[in-house]
Amino acid sequence: MQTKKELKQLYKETPIEAGVYQIKNTINNKSFVASTRNLKTLNGVRFTLENNTHMNKELQQEWNQYGKEAFIFETLEILKKKKEGFFDEKRELQKLEEKWLDHIQPYGGQGYNKERTNE
């Protein structure tokens, strides 16, 4: 087993990666899809659910109902950054998230996301 100091060092050395993730309810197969500029923050997302403070009320309600054991967190895709030239990470991450929302369709009875309206 690694010591706390070794784990901290490993965390610091892990590169910050942006990407799209899914929180899936294994009981009813509903999903929540979102993106983050730092996939390390998924522990913070888990923390908000465990402390009943997640912004998505339906997800929070079912987390409370079924318990944390009923949910899995998974990275769907890591954003590949361009090595050269201009790269708008925020815009590219949004496009990546939209791709996964279109693919999984986590709306209504299938998920916790709210459908976006094109304005």
Strands (E), 14-116: 19-25, 31-36, 71-78
CA dist., res. 113 & res. 116, Å (int): 9
Give the pLDDT mean for 69-97. Answer: 92
Spans of all domains in the chain: 16-110
Q: What pTM was computed for the model? A: 0.84
Superfamily of domain 16-110: GIY-YIG endonuclease (3.40.1440.10)
Band (97; pLDDT cuts 50, 70, 90): very high
Q: What is the pLDDT of residue 118?
A: 58
Of the chain, the end-to-end C-alpha distance in Å amounts to: 52
Give the pLDDT mean for 35-41. Answer: 93
Helix pair angle (57-66, 42-50), 10° resolution: 70
